[in-house]
Protein backbone atom coordinates (compact mmCIF):
# COMPACT_ATOMS: atom_id res chain seq x y z
CA UNK A 1 0.00 0.00 0.00
CA UNK A 2 1.56 3.25 -1.13
CA UNK A 3 -0.46 5.80 0.86
CA UNK A 4 -1.63 5.55 4.44
CA UNK A 5 -4.96 7.23 3.66
CA UNK A 6 -5.91 4.34 1.36
CA UNK A 7 -6.72 2.52 4.59
CA UNK A 8 -10.08 4.34 4.80
CA UNK A 9 -11.30 1.86 2.21
CA UNK A 10 -11.13 -0.95 4.77
CA UNK A 11 -14.25 -0.13 6.84
CA UNK A 12 -16.17 0.43 3.59
CA UNK A 13 -15.24 -3.06 2.38
CA UNK A 14 -16.03 -4.68 5.73
CA UNK A 15 -19.47 -3.02 5.78
CA UNK A 16 -20.02 -4.05 2.17
CA UNK A 17 -19.39 -7.72 2.93
CA UNK A 18 -21.60 -7.58 6.04
CA UNK A 19 -24.48 -6.09 4.06
CA UNK A 20 -23.86 -8.58 1.24
CA UNK A 21 -24.41 -11.45 3.69
CA UNK A 22 -27.65 -9.76 4.78
CA UNK A 23 -28.74 -9.43 1.17
CA UNK A 24 -28.20 -13.13 0.50
CA UNK A 25 -30.07 -14.15 3.66
CA UNK A 26 -33.07 -12.10 2.58
CA UNK A 27 -32.75 -13.56 -0.91
CA UNK A 28 -32.99 -17.05 0.58
CA UNK A 29 -35.99 -16.04 2.71
CA UNK A 30 -37.71 -14.69 -0.38
CA UNK A 31 -36.74 -17.73 -2.44
CA UNK A 32 -38.45 -19.90 0.16
CA UNK A 33 -41.51 -17.67 0.13
CA UNK A 34 -41.87 -18.43 -3.59
CA UNK A 35 -42.59 -22.05 -2.68
CA UNK A 36 -43.88 -21.76 0.91
CA UNK A 37 -46.07 -18.72 0.58
CA UNK A 38 -46.61 -18.04 4.28
CA UNK A 39 -43.01 -18.57 5.39
CA UNK A 40 -42.22 -15.92 8.03
CA UNK A 41 -45.55 -14.23 7.38
CA UNK A 42 -46.61 -11.76 8.76
CA UNK A 43 -43.22 -10.95 10.32
CA UNK A 44 -41.44 -10.54 6.98
CA UNK A 45 -43.91 -10.27 4.09
CA UNK A 46 -42.62 -11.04 0.58
CA UNK A 47 -42.68 -7.41 -0.55
CA UNK A 48 -40.58 -6.38 2.45
CA UNK A 49 -38.08 -9.21 1.96
CA UNK A 50 -37.75 -8.22 -1.69
CA UNK A 51 -37.25 -4.57 -0.82
CA UNK A 52 -34.57 -5.42 1.75
CA UNK A 53 -32.87 -7.82 -0.70
CA UNK A 54 -32.63 -5.25 -3.50
CA UNK A 55 -31.91 -2.23 -1.30
CA UNK A 56 -29.13 -4.05 0.54
CA UNK A 57 -27.62 -4.91 -2.84
CA UNK A 58 -27.57 -1.28 -3.91
CA UNK A 59 -26.24 -0.03 -0.59
CA UNK A 60 -23.45 -2.59 -0.28
CA UNK A 61 -22.39 -2.03 -3.87
CA UNK A 62 -22.23 1.70 -3.16
CA UNK A 63 -20.07 0.96 -0.12
CA UNK A 64 -17.91 -1.20 -2.39
CA UNK A 65 -17.59 1.50 -5.06
CA UNK A 66 -16.76 4.12 -2.44
CA UNK A 67 -14.15 1.89 -0.80
CA UNK A 68 -12.66 1.12 -4.21
CA UNK A 69 -12.50 4.82 -5.09
CA UNK A 70 -10.89 5.73 -1.75
CA UNK A 71 -8.24 3.10 -2.42
CA UNK A 72 -7.68 3.88 -6.09
CA UNK A 73 -7.69 7.67 -6.21
CA UNK A 74 -4.73 8.31 -3.85
CA UNK A 75 -2.67 5.69 -5.70
CA UNK A 76 -3.63 7.00 -9.14
CA UNK A 77 -3.14 10.63 -8.04
CA UNK A 78 0.10 9.78 -6.25
CA UNK A 79 -0.90 11.73 -3.19
CA UNK A 80 -2.66 11.18 0.13
CA UNK A 81 -6.44 11.48 0.23
CA UNK A 82 -7.59 15.09 0.77
CA UNK A 83 -9.41 14.27 4.02
CA UNK A 84 -9.39 10.74 5.49
CA UNK A 85 -11.40 12.07 8.45
CA UNK A 86 -14.21 13.20 6.15
CA UNK A 87 -14.17 9.79 4.48
CA UNK A 88 -14.54 8.05 7.83
CA UNK A 89 -17.27 10.43 9.02
CA UNK A 90 -19.22 9.85 5.82
CA UNK A 91 -18.79 6.11 6.25
CA UNK A 92 -20.50 6.18 9.64
CA UNK A 93 -23.25 8.51 8.44
CA UNK A 94 -23.96 6.25 5.47
CA UNK A 95 -23.83 3.06 7.54
CA UNK A 96 -26.14 4.38 10.28
CA UNK A 97 -28.59 5.85 7.75
CA UNK A 98 -28.60 2.62 5.75
CA UNK A 99 -29.07 0.45 8.84
CA UNK A 100 -31.91 2.64 10.15
CA UNK A 101 -33.63 2.45 6.77
CA UNK A 102 -33.47 -1.36 6.74
CA UNK A 103 -34.73 -1.48 10.34
CA UNK A 104 -37.54 0.85 9.27
CA UNK A 105 -38.51 -1.50 6.41
CA UNK A 106 -38.63 -4.45 8.81
CA UNK A 107 -40.11 -2.79 11.89
CA UNK A 108 -43.07 -0.84 10.55
CA UNK A 109 -45.42 -1.17 7.57
CA UNK A 110 -44.11 0.72 4.53
CA UNK A 111 -47.01 3.19 4.51
CA UNK A 112 -46.36 4.00 8.16
CA UNK A 113 -42.65 4.46 7.41
CA UNK A 114 -43.58 6.94 4.66
CA UNK A 115 -45.77 8.81 7.13
CA UNK A 116 -43.13 8.82 9.88
CA UNK A 117 -40.40 10.12 7.60
CA UNK A 118 -42.46 12.94 6.15
CA UNK A 119 -42.84 11.56 2.65
CA UNK A 120 -45.86 13.82 2.09
CA UNK A 121 -43.59 16.89 2.20
CA UNK A 122 -41.53 15.66 -0.76
CA UNK A 123 -42.98 12.37 -2.03
CA UNK A 124 -40.23 10.13 -3.42
CA UNK A 125 -41.08 6.73 -1.96
CA UNK A 126 -42.86 3.72 -3.41
CA UNK A 127 -40.84 3.00 -6.52
CA UNK A 128 -38.86 -0.20 -7.01
CA UNK A 129 -35.20 0.12 -5.91
CA UNK A 130 -35.89 3.73 -4.84
CA UNK A 131 -38.04 2.81 -1.85
CA UNK A 132 -35.79 4.65 0.62
CA UNK A 133 -37.49 7.34 2.70
CA UNK A 134 -36.88 10.86 1.38
CA UNK A 135 -34.72 11.67 4.39
CA UNK A 136 -32.46 8.72 3.55
CA UNK A 137 -32.26 9.89 -0.05
CA UNK A 138 -31.18 13.33 1.16
CA UNK A 139 -28.59 11.60 3.34
CA UNK A 140 -27.30 9.70 0.30
CA UNK A 141 -26.93 12.98 -1.60
CA UNK A 142 -25.02 14.56 1.29
CA UNK A 143 -22.72 11.53 1.54
CA UNK A 144 -22.17 11.58 -2.24
CA UNK A 145 -21.36 15.30 -2.23
CA UNK A 146 -18.81 14.88 0.56
CA UNK A 147 -17.38 11.81 -1.13
CA UNK A 148 -17.00 13.53 -4.52
CA UNK A 149 -15.55 16.65 -2.89
CA UNK A 150 -12.96 14.54 -1.08
CA UNK A 151 -12.00 12.61 -4.19
CA UNK A 152 -12.15 15.67 -6.44
CA UNK A 153 -9.76 17.62 -4.22
CA UNK A 154 -7.39 14.64 -4.18
CA UNK A 155 -7.42 14.37 -7.97
CA UNK A 156 -6.93 18.12 -8.35
CA UNK A 157 -3.82 18.19 -6.19
CA UNK A 158 -2.24 15.10 -7.74
CA UNK A 159 -1.57 13.23 -10.97
CA UNK A 160 -4.47 12.96 -13.41
CA UNK A 161 -4.82 9.59 -15.11
CA UNK A 162 -7.37 8.14 -17.51
CA UNK A 163 -8.36 5.56 -14.92
CA UNK A 164 -9.15 8.20 -12.29
CA UNK A 165 -10.90 10.36 -14.90
CA UNK A 166 -13.17 7.49 -15.97
CA UNK A 167 -13.81 6.53 -12.36
CA UNK A 168 -14.68 10.11 -11.41
CA UNK A 169 -16.96 10.46 -14.45
CA UNK A 170 -18.78 7.31 -13.38
CA UNK A 171 -19.11 8.44 -9.77
CA UNK A 172 -20.26 11.97 -10.65
CA UNK A 173 -22.77 10.45 -13.08
CA UNK A 174 -23.98 8.11 -10.35
CA UNK A 175 -24.58 11.02 -7.99
CA UNK A 176 -26.20 13.28 -10.60
CA UNK A 177 -28.54 10.62 -11.96
CA UNK A 178 -29.68 9.79 -8.43
CA UNK A 179 -31.14 13.31 -8.24
CA UNK A 180 -33.91 12.15 -10.62
CA UNK A 181 -35.22 10.01 -7.76
CA UNK A 182 -36.44 13.25 -6.14
CA UNK A 183 -38.77 13.94 -9.05
CA UNK A 184 -41.93 11.92 -8.71
CA UNK A 185 -44.53 13.16 -11.21
CA UNK A 186 -48.13 12.01 -10.97
CA UNK A 187 -48.16 11.09 -14.67
CA UNK A 188 -47.11 7.42 -14.57
CA UNK A 189 -45.45 7.45 -17.99
CA UNK A 190 -43.36 10.46 -17.07
CA UNK A 191 -42.61 8.88 -13.72
CA UNK A 192 -41.29 5.74 -15.44
CA UNK A 193 -39.06 7.83 -17.70
CA UNK A 194 -37.39 9.51 -14.75
CA UNK A 195 -37.26 6.30 -12.76
CA UNK A 196 -35.34 4.61 -15.58
CA UNK A 197 -33.01 7.62 -15.80
CA UNK A 198 -31.84 6.51 -12.37
CA UNK A 199 -32.07 2.73 -12.63
CA UNK A 200 -31.05 2.06 -16.24
CA UNK A 201 -28.53 4.86 -16.63
CA UNK A 202 -26.89 3.64 -13.45
CA UNK A 203 -26.49 -0.04 -14.26
CA UNK A 204 -26.19 0.16 -18.03
CA UNK A 205 -24.42 3.51 -18.07
CA UNK A 206 -22.30 5.12 -15.39
CA UNK A 207 -21.80 2.02 -13.26
CA UNK A 208 -20.14 0.39 -16.25
CA UNK A 209 -17.64 3.25 -16.25
CA UNK A 210 -16.88 2.52 -12.61
CA UNK A 211 -16.59 -1.19 -13.46
CA UNK A 212 -14.24 -0.45 -16.36
CA UNK A 213 -12.03 1.83 -14.27
CA UNK A 214 -11.73 -0.64 -11.39
CA UNK A 215 -11.00 -3.52 -13.76
CA UNK A 216 -8.37 -1.43 -15.56
CA UNK A 217 -6.76 -0.48 -12.21
CA UNK A 218 -6.56 -4.08 -11.02
CA UNK A 219 -5.22 -5.27 -14.37
CA UNK A 220 -2.53 -2.57 -14.42
CA UNK A 221 -1.44 -3.63 -10.95
CA UNK A 222 -1.58 -7.38 -11.41
CA UNK A 223 -0.32 -7.86 -14.97
CA UNK A 224 2.34 -5.18 -15.28
CA UNK A 225 1.09 -4.39 -18.79
CA UNK A 226 1.74 -0.78 -19.87
CA UNK A 227 -0.83 1.67 -18.57
CA UNK A 228 -1.15 3.19 -22.08
CA UNK A 229 -2.32 -0.12 -23.55
CA UNK A 230 -4.91 -0.66 -20.85
CA UNK A 231 -6.13 2.93 -21.04
CA UNK A 232 -6.72 2.67 -24.80
CA UNK A 233 -8.93 -0.37 -24.22
CA UNK A 234 -10.71 1.46 -21.42
CA UNK A 235 -11.54 4.42 -23.66
CA UNK A 236 -13.01 2.22 -26.39
CA UNK A 237 -15.02 0.19 -23.86
CA UNK A 238 -16.54 3.22 -22.17
CA UNK A 239 -17.30 4.83 -25.51
CA UNK A 240 -19.19 1.71 -26.59
CA UNK A 241 -20.92 1.59 -23.20
CA UNK A 242 -22.30 5.09 -23.58
CA UNK A 243 -23.11 4.79 -27.30
CA UNK A 244 -25.19 1.66 -26.71
CA UNK A 245 -26.36 2.18 -23.15
CA UNK A 246 -27.90 5.65 -23.33
CA UNK A 247 -30.29 4.97 -26.20
CA UNK A 248 -30.54 1.37 -25.01
CA UNK A 249 -32.72 2.85 -22.24
CA UNK A 250 -35.39 2.60 -24.93
CA UNK A 251 -35.89 -1.09 -24.12
CA UNK A 252 -37.66 0.06 -20.98
CA UNK A 253 -40.05 2.29 -22.92
CA UNK A 254 -41.70 -0.46 -24.99
CA UNK A 255 -44.82 -0.91 -22.90
CA UNK A 256 -45.04 2.12 -20.61
CA UNK A 257 -47.08 4.34 -22.88
CA UNK A 258 -44.18 5.93 -24.78
CA UNK A 259 -44.32 6.42 -28.58
CA UNK A 260 -43.93 3.30 -30.71
CA UNK A 261 -40.63 4.36 -32.27
CA UNK A 262 -38.94 3.44 -29.01
CA UNK A 263 -39.50 -0.21 -29.91
CA UNK A 264 -37.12 0.19 -32.84
CA UNK A 265 -34.61 2.47 -31.13
CA UNK A 266 -34.62 0.36 -27.96
CA UNK A 267 -34.24 -2.89 -29.89
CA UNK A 268 -31.38 -1.70 -32.08
CA UNK A 269 -29.31 -0.01 -29.41
CA UNK A 270 -29.85 -2.55 -26.69
CA UNK A 271 -28.95 -5.33 -29.13
CA UNK A 272 -25.58 -3.58 -29.31
CA UNK A 273 -25.21 -3.42 -25.53
CA UNK A 274 -23.37 -6.77 -25.26
CA UNK A 275 -20.50 -5.29 -27.31
CA UNK A 276 -18.74 -3.42 -24.47
CA UNK A 277 -19.08 -6.49 -22.25
CA UNK A 278 -17.68 -8.67 -25.00
CA UNK A 279 -14.78 -6.24 -25.39
CA UNK A 280 -14.23 -6.30 -21.66
CA UNK A 281 -13.79 -10.09 -21.78
CA UNK A 282 -11.29 -9.89 -24.64
CA UNK A 283 -9.57 -6.97 -22.87
CA UNK A 284 -9.16 -8.76 -19.54
CA UNK A 285 -7.91 -12.02 -21.02
CA UNK A 286 -5.67 -10.22 -23.48
CA UNK A 287 -4.01 -8.26 -20.68
CA UNK A 288 -3.52 -11.38 -18.57
CA UNK A 289 -2.09 -13.19 -21.61
CA UNK A 290 0.33 -10.32 -22.14
CA UNK A 291 1.26 -10.08 -18.47
CA UNK A 292 4.82 -9.28 -17.59
CA UNK A 293 4.65 -11.00 -14.24
CA UNK A 294 2.64 -13.49 -12.27
CA UNK A 295 1.13 -11.52 -9.44
CA UNK A 296 1.15 -13.44 -6.16
CA UNK A 297 -2.50 -12.59 -5.53
CA UNK A 298 -3.89 -15.22 -7.89
CA UNK A 299 -7.32 -15.00 -6.32
CA UNK A 300 -7.64 -11.34 -7.31
CA UNK A 301 -6.67 -12.13 -10.92
CA UNK A 302 -9.24 -14.94 -10.94
CA UNK A 303 -11.92 -12.52 -9.71
CA UNK A 304 -10.95 -9.99 -12.38
CA UNK A 305 -11.18 -12.54 -15.19
CA UNK A 306 -14.39 -13.93 -13.70
CA UNK A 307 -15.90 -10.45 -13.68
CA UNK A 308 -15.28 -10.03 -17.40
CA UNK A 309 -16.75 -13.43 -18.24
CA UNK A 310 -19.79 -13.27 -15.97
CA UNK A 311 -20.59 -9.67 -16.87
CA UNK A 312 -20.60 -10.67 -20.52
CA UNK A 313 -22.86 -13.66 -19.85
CA UNK A 314 -25.21 -11.99 -17.38
CA UNK A 315 -25.48 -8.48 -18.74
CA UNK A 316 -24.63 -9.20 -22.37
CA UNK A 317 -26.07 -12.58 -23.30
CA UNK A 318 -28.97 -12.78 -20.85
CA UNK A 319 -29.80 -9.16 -21.52
CA UNK A 320 -29.90 -9.70 -25.28
CA UNK A 321 -32.04 -12.79 -24.75
CA UNK A 322 -35.12 -10.70 -23.97
CA UNK A 323 -34.28 -7.22 -25.16
CA UNK A 324 -35.80 -7.18 -28.65
CA UNK A 325 -39.29 -5.68 -28.60
CA UNK A 326 -41.11 -8.65 -30.22
CA UNK A 327 -39.53 -11.04 -27.69
CA UNK A 328 -39.97 -8.65 -24.79
CA UNK A 329 -43.66 -8.39 -25.59
CA UNK A 330 -43.95 -11.87 -24.08
CA UNK A 331 -41.07 -12.00 -21.62
CA UNK A 332 -41.51 -8.59 -19.98
CA UNK A 333 -41.34 -8.78 -16.18
CA UNK A 334 -41.17 -12.58 -16.14
CA UNK A 335 -38.65 -14.83 -14.41
CA UNK A 336 -36.43 -14.35 -17.47
CA UNK A 337 -35.95 -10.76 -16.29
CA UNK A 338 -35.09 -12.10 -12.83
CA UNK A 339 -32.56 -14.51 -14.38
CA UNK A 340 -30.89 -11.64 -16.25
CA UNK A 341 -30.94 -9.38 -13.19
CA UNK A 342 -29.27 -11.96 -10.96
CA UNK A 343 -26.43 -12.86 -13.29
CA UNK A 344 -25.86 -9.32 -14.53
CA UNK A 345 -25.61 -7.80 -11.06
CA UNK A 346 -23.42 -10.62 -9.83
CA UNK A 347 -21.18 -10.69 -12.89
CA UNK A 348 -20.74 -7.01 -13.41
CA UNK A 349 -20.93 -5.36 -10.02
CA UNK A 350 -20.72 -7.89 -7.21
CA UNK A 351 -17.68 -9.53 -8.76
CA UNK A 352 -15.83 -6.29 -9.49
CA UNK A 353 -16.25 -5.16 -5.88
CA UNK A 354 -15.07 -8.59 -4.69
CA UNK A 355 -12.14 -8.29 -7.12
CA UNK A 356 -11.15 -5.01 -5.53
CA UNK A 357 -11.61 -6.34 -2.00
CA UNK A 358 -9.58 -9.39 -2.89
CA UNK A 359 -6.80 -7.26 -4.37
CA UNK A 360 -6.64 -4.62 -1.62
CA UNK A 361 -7.48 -6.40 1.63
CA UNK A 362 -4.19 -8.30 2.00
CA UNK A 363 -2.28 -5.01 1.66
CA UNK A 364 -4.60 -3.14 3.99
CA UNK A 365 -4.05 -5.90 6.54
CA UNK A 366 -0.30 -5.46 6.47
CA UNK A 367 0.84 -7.94 3.82
CA UNK A 368 3.05 -6.95 0.89
CA UNK A 369 0.71 -8.11 -1.87
CA UNK A 370 -1.20 -11.29 -1.17
CA UNK A 371 -2.62 -13.68 1.40
CA UNK A 372 -1.11 -17.10 2.01
CA UNK A 373 -1.58 -19.77 -0.62
CA UNK A 374 -3.89 -21.68 1.73
CA UNK A 375 -6.07 -18.61 2.19
CA UNK A 376 -6.15 -18.04 -1.58
CA UNK A 377 -7.15 -21.63 -2.24
CA UNK A 378 -10.14 -21.20 0.08
CA UNK A 379 -10.97 -17.90 -1.60
CA UNK A 380 -10.83 -19.52 -5.02
CA UNK A 381 -13.17 -22.25 -3.76
CA UNK A 382 -15.49 -19.43 -2.70
CA UNK A 383 -15.20 -17.94 -6.19
CA UNK A 384 -16.19 -21.16 -7.89
CA UNK A 385 -18.99 -21.99 -5.44
CA UNK A 386 -20.55 -18.55 -5.80
CA UNK A 387 -20.04 -18.32 -9.55
CA UNK A 388 -21.24 -21.81 -10.45
CA UNK A 389 -24.25 -21.53 -8.14
CA UNK A 390 -25.11 -18.18 -9.73
CA UNK A 391 -24.97 -19.80 -13.16
CA UNK A 392 -27.41 -22.43 -11.91
CA UNK A 393 -29.67 -19.83 -10.28
CA UNK A 394 -29.78 -18.09 -13.65
CA UNK A 395 -30.48 -21.28 -15.57
CA UNK A 396 -33.25 -22.36 -13.19
CA UNK A 397 -34.87 -18.93 -13.35
CA UNK A 398 -34.57 -18.98 -17.15
CA UNK A 399 -36.29 -22.36 -17.23
CA UNK A 400 -39.02 -21.05 -14.93
CA UNK A 401 -39.31 -17.96 -17.13
CA UNK A 402 -39.71 -19.89 -20.37
CA UNK A 403 -42.46 -22.02 -18.84
CA UNK A 404 -44.08 -18.98 -17.29
CA UNK A 405 -44.13 -17.07 -20.56
CA UNK A 406 -45.59 -20.01 -22.45
CA UNK A 407 -48.26 -20.99 -19.92
CA UNK A 408 -49.27 -17.50 -18.88
CA UNK A 409 -48.85 -15.45 -22.04
CA UNK A 410 -48.29 -17.49 -25.17
CA UNK A 411 -50.43 -20.63 -25.10
CA UNK A 412 -53.91 -20.83 -26.63
CA UNK A 413 -55.44 -20.98 -23.16
CA UNK A 414 -53.36 -18.66 -20.98
CA UNK A 415 -53.43 -19.52 -17.30
CA UNK A 416 -53.55 -17.27 -14.26
CA UNK A 417 -50.34 -15.96 -12.68
CA UNK A 418 -50.62 -17.93 -9.44
CA UNK A 419 -51.63 -21.13 -11.25
CA UNK A 420 -48.49 -20.89 -13.34
CA UNK A 421 -46.36 -20.11 -10.29
CA UNK A 422 -47.35 -23.46 -8.83
CA UNK A 423 -46.42 -25.23 -12.07
CA UNK A 424 -42.89 -23.86 -12.06
CA UNK A 425 -42.35 -24.69 -8.39
CA UNK A 426 -39.65 -27.27 -9.14
CA UNK A 427 -37.45 -24.59 -10.69
CA UNK A 428 -37.93 -22.39 -7.62
CA UNK A 429 -36.84 -25.21 -5.30
CA UNK A 430 -33.75 -25.83 -7.40
CA UNK A 431 -32.99 -22.10 -7.36
CA UNK A 432 -33.25 -22.14 -3.57
CA UNK A 433 -30.77 -25.02 -3.27
CA UNK A 434 -28.37 -23.18 -5.58
CA UNK A 435 -28.85 -20.11 -3.36
CA UNK A 436 -27.75 -22.13 -0.33
CA UNK A 437 -24.58 -23.13 -2.19
CA UNK A 438 -24.05 -19.45 -3.00
CA UNK A 439 -24.31 -18.55 0.71
CA UNK A 440 -21.79 -21.30 1.51
CA UNK A 441 -19.42 -19.77 -1.03
CA UNK A 442 -19.89 -16.32 0.44
CA UNK A 443 -19.17 -17.56 3.97
CA UNK A 444 -16.05 -19.31 2.67
CA UNK A 445 -15.00 -16.00 1.10
CA UNK A 446 -15.24 -14.34 4.53
CA UNK A 447 -13.42 -17.26 6.18
CA UNK A 448 -10.56 -16.98 3.68
CA UNK A 449 -9.56 -13.61 5.15
CA UNK A 450 -8.99 -15.20 8.55
CA UNK A 451 -6.67 -17.96 7.34
CA UNK A 452 -3.11 -17.07 8.23
CA UNK A 453 0.16 -18.48 6.94
CA UNK A 454 3.19 -17.25 5.07
CA UNK A 455 2.53 -14.79 2.28
CA UNK A 456 2.41 -16.26 -1.20
CA UNK A 457 5.35 -14.81 -3.12
CA UNK A 458 5.58 -13.61 -6.71
CA UNK A 459 6.57 -16.43 -9.05
CA UNK A 460 8.18 -14.66 -11.95
CA UNK A 461 9.75 -11.25 -12.33
Partner 1 sequence: MATEITPTGGKRLAIAAEALYLANLLVLPLLAFLLLWWLYSRQGASAPPLAAAHLQQSVVASLWAGLLLIPLPLLTLILSGGSLTGWTVAILWFVTCHAALVLAGALGLARAMAGKPWRYPLIGGGKS
Residue 395 binds partner 1, judged by CB under 8 A: yes
Least Å distance between CB 222 and partner 1? 12
Contact 369, 363 (CB under 8 A): yes
- The interface region with partner 1, picked from 92-100, 135-143, 211-219, 281-289 by CB under 8 A, is 281-289
Contact 80, 4 (CB under 8 A): yes
C-beta of 356 vs 407, nearer to partner 1:
407
Residue 399 binds partner 1, judged by CB under 8 A: yes
Residue 313 binds partner 1, judged by CB under 8 A: yes
Please identify which residue in 108, 116, 156, 282 interacts with partner 1, judged by CB under 8 A: 282
The answer to whether the Cα torsion of 208, 209, 214, 219 is positive or negative is: positive
Residue 286 binds partner 1, judged by CB under 8 A: yes
DSSP letter string, 206-270: IHHHHHHHHHHHHHHHHH---HHHHHHHHHHHHHHHHHHHHHHGGGGSTTTT--THHHHHHHHHH
Residue 272 binds partner 1, judged by CB under 8 A: no
The Cα–Cα gap between 50 and 134 comes to 19
- The interface region with partner 1, picked from 31-39, 183-191, 324-332, 393-401 by CB under 8 A, is 393-401
- The interface region with partner 1, picked from 1-9, 16-24, 364-372, 395-403 by CB under 8 A, is 395-403
Residue 402 binds partner 1, judged by CB under 8 A: yes
**Angle subtended at Cα 414 by Cα 408 and Cα 417, rounded to the nearest 5 degrees:** 40
For residue 368, the Cα-to-chain-centroid distance in whole angstroms is 29
Residue 289 binds partner 1, judged by CB under 8 A: yes
- The interface region with partner 1, picked from 11-19, 180-188, 403-411, 450-458 by CB under 8 A, is 403-411
For residue 141, the Cα-to-chain-centroid distance in whole angstroms is 19
Least Å distance between CB 117 and partner 1? 43
Least Å distance between CB 231 and partner 1? 17
Least Å distance between CB 428 and partner 1? 15
C-beta of 258 vs 321, nearer to partner 1:
321
C-beta of 3 vs 359, nearer to partner 1:
359
Residue 285 binds partner 1, judged by CB under 8 A: yes
**Angle subtended at Cα 274 by Cα 247 and Cα 322, rounded to the nearest 5 degrees:** 80
**Angle subtended at Cα 448 by Cα 444 and Cα 454, rounded to the nearest 5 degrees:** 155
Q: For partner 1, how many residues bind (rule: CB under 8 A)?
A: 24
Q: What's the alpha-carbon Rg for the chain, to the nearest Å?
A: 22
Mention every residue, 6+ apart, whose C-beta is less than 8 A from residue 148: 168, 171, 172, 175
The Cα–Cα gap between 271 and 274 comes to 7
Chain positions contacting partner 1, by CB under 8 A: 278, 281-286, 288-290, 294, 309, 312-313, 317, 321, 395, 398-399, 402-403, 406-407, 460
Amino acid sequence: MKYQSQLVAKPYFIAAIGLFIGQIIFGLIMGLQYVIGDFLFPEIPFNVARMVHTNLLIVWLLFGFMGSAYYMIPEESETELYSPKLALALFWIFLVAGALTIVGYLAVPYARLAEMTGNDLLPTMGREFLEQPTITKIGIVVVCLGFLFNLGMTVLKGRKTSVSLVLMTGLVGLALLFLFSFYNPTNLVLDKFFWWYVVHLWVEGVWELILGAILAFVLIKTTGVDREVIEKWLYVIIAMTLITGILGTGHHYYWIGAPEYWQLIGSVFSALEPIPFFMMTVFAFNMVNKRRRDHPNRAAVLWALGTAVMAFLGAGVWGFLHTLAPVNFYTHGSQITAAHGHMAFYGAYVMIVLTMISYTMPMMRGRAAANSLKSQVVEMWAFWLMTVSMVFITLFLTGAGILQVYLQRYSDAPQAFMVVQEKVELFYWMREYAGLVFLTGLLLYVVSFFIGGKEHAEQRA
